[in-house]
Amino acid sequence: MWVIYTVISYFVLALVLPIAWSLTRVWRRTRGGHAVTCPALGEPAVVGFAPWHAVRMHARGDAELRVIQCSHWPERGDCARECLVQIGSAC
């Protein structure tokens, strides 16, 4: 009986490990600040993303990023977040 459990465990690990690896990479890439050039001002800015939101969206198959902080906020908090195009697939 333990042989069946061992085989099932190997199959589960073969499925879970690549998924966990992929989600961990997304979380690591989206945490912290990212340097961009503000399209509205033409000045450098640092933006921060919500890493857990990025992980959830990646698990769904979306590449959506949510900006939670910017060095130009609160003055320009109503911007269109066009700087996300610069980040592209880097995250």
- pLDDT digits over 20-36, tens only? 998 899 888 888 888 88
User: With contact defined as beta carbons under 8 Å apart, do 37 and 43 qualify?
Assistant: yes
Q: How far apart are alpha carbons 90 and 12 in whole angstroms?
A: 30
Number of domains into which the chain is organized: 1
The confidence band for 38, taking pLDDT boundaries of 50, 70 and 90, is confident
Domain, as residue range, for 81: 2-90
* Mean pLDDT computed over 43-62: 88
